[in-house]
Amino acid sequence: MKTEYSCEQCKEQLFDFVNSVLPPLEQQLVDQHLQHCDECNADLTDIWNLQSKATSWRDERVPRWNRRQFFFEPSPWPMRMQWAASFASVLVLILVLMEARISTVGGLTVDFAASDSRYVSQPELMQQLASVQNLQRSELDSSVQKLTSQQITTNQLLLRTLLDASRQERRKDLGNMLVLWEQAQDQRSVSTEESLRYLIASQIQDRREIEDLNDALLQVSNNF
C-alpha cells in the first residue's frame, strides 16, 4: 500500500497527469493529492491554461531568405554572421577568456559604445583590432597548453578535444576579421562601425557576463 503523495511528488507527475499518460496507480495518487491541495490545483490550472495557449500557437512563416548566398556565397559584409561563429568557438572563447582572467579588458580600451564620437580613425581601429588579434592568439595557445598540462578528467578530455578542434577555426576567424575589415574600407559607414562595435563587444565582454556563462558551461560539461 502506497502512502499519499507530497506536493513535490505530485508536481513531479503533474505534466504526465495532464496528458493522461500516468499508470493507473500514479494517476490515482495524484488525483487524491489534488483533492485537498490548493497549491497543486493552481499549478494544474496553470499547466492547462498554458498548454491550451501553446496549442493555439500558429507557426509563422520564415521570411524569405537566400540560403545559397548565405551559406555558400558569403559577402564580405556584414561580418556579423561570420563572426557569430560557431558554438564550439564560443565555448573556446569563454574558456580562454576565463583562463586568462581577461587581463586585457582593463588595458584594452576598445569601448566604442562609450565613446562620444561615432567616428574612429581607421589606423587607430586597425591597430586596436590587430592587438586584439595578437592577444587572443597568444591566449588561445597558452590556454590550450595549460589545459594539456592539467590532470585530465573525462570531462576535461572532452572539452580539450573540442578546444583542439576549433582552435584553428578561431584563429582563422580572427584573421578574417582584419581581412574583412580591409575589404570593407570602401563601404565605410555607420553600419560598418556598428558591426565592428558588435564584433569587439562580443570579443571583450565584461567579466561578470563571462563568469555567468562559464558557470553554465561548467555545468554543461559536467553533464557530458
Partner 1 sequence: MYRELTMFGKTTDELLIQKALAGSERAWFGLVRRYEKRLYNYSLRMTGSPDDAMDILQDVLMSVYRNLSTYRGDGVFAAWLFRIASFRCTDFLRRRGRQFASTDEVDVIDESGPVTGNDMDGNKGLMAMMSRLPTEQKHVIELKFFQHFTFDEIAGQLGISSNTAKSRLYAALKKMREQNENVMMVKEGA
Q: Give residues in contact with partner 1 (CB under 8 A).
A: 11-12, 15, 42-43, 46-47, 50-51, 53-54, 56-63, 65, 67-68, 70-72, 81-82, 84-88, 90, 162, 165-166, 169, 201, 209, 212-213, 216-217, 219-223
Q: Which of 182, 207, 213, 210 is nearest to 196 (CA)?
A: 182
Q: How far is the CB of 67 from Zn ion (least distance, A)?
A: 50
13 vs 136 by CB, closer to Zn ion: 13
Q: How far is the CB of 85 from partner 1 (least distance, A)?
A: 7
C-alpha distances in angstroms, 140 versus 157, 214, 221?
17, 16, 19
What does DSSP assign to residue 35?
Answer: T
Compute the distance between CA of residue 16 and CA of residue 47 in angstroms, rounded to an integer: 11
Compute the distance between CA of residue 9 and CA of residue 190 in angstroms, rounded to an integer: 57
If binding means CB under 5 A, how many residues of this protein chain bind Zn ion? 5
The listed partner (Zn ion, partner 1, none) that binds 37, CB under 5 to 8 Å by sort, is: Zn ion
Three-class DSSP category at 85: coil
39 vs 111 by CB, closer to Zn ion: 39
**Binding status of residue 105 toward Zn ion by CB under 5 A:** no
82 vs 192 by CB, closer to partner 1: 82
25 vs 62 by CB, closer to partner 1: 62
Hey, CA dihedral for 157, 158, 163, 168, is it positive or negative? positive
2 vs 53 by CB, closer to partner 1: 53
Asked if 180 contacts 82 with a C-beta cutoff of 8 angstroms, the reply is: yes
> Up-side HSE of residue 77: CA atoms within 13 Å toward CB?
16
The listed partner (partner 1, Zn ion, none) that binds 54, CB under 5 to 8 Å by sort, is: partner 1
The listed partner (Zn ion, partner 1, none) that binds 219, CB under 5 to 8 Å by sort, is: partner 1
Strand (E) or helix (H) holding 32: helix 24-34
Q: Which of 132, 125, 139, 151 is nearest to 204 (CA)?
A: 132
In the list 9, 16, 18, 37, the residue contacting Zn ion (rule: CB under 5 A) is 37
Interface ranges with Zn ion (CB under 5 A): 7, 10, 37, 39-40
